Homo-oligomer: A and B are copies of this chain.
């Protein structure tokens, strides 16, 4: 999964069929780079989220013809990241 931060939102009135209810949010990945992920949790700007990509995103939404390849699966409680240098 990719860890990132919500930085924007997009709308697409002209669209293909079978896009479910939800929002297209722009995510800035923790390591750099941006992507558009589908959101059904109601995430807001600056929220830190986990994004799943690929056909797994469509499968969760019901599979078949659903054309979504990136889905927010959760909002992070707290960073809690540690990165201690490896002791020799």
Given the complex of chains A and B, what is the CA–CA distance between A65 and B63 in angstroms? 9
Given the complex of chains A and B, what is the CA–CA distance between A18 and B66 in angstroms? 18
The reply to whether A35 and B2 form a contact with Cβ atoms under 8 Å apart is yes
Select from chain B the residue with minimum beta-carbon distance to A53. Answer: B69
A interface residues, tally (CB under 8 Å): 64
The reply to whether B34 and A73 form a contact with Cβ atoms under 8 Å apart is no
Knowing A10-B3, A86-B46, the reply to whether A54 touches B80 (Cβ < 8 A) is no
Given the complex of chains A and B, what is the CA–CA distance between A60 and B3 in angstroms? 22
Residue ranges of A at the interface with B (Cβ–Cβ < 8 Å): 1-3, 5, 7-16, 18-19, 24, 26, 28, 30-31, 33-38, 40-41, 45-46, 50, 52-60, 63-84, 86
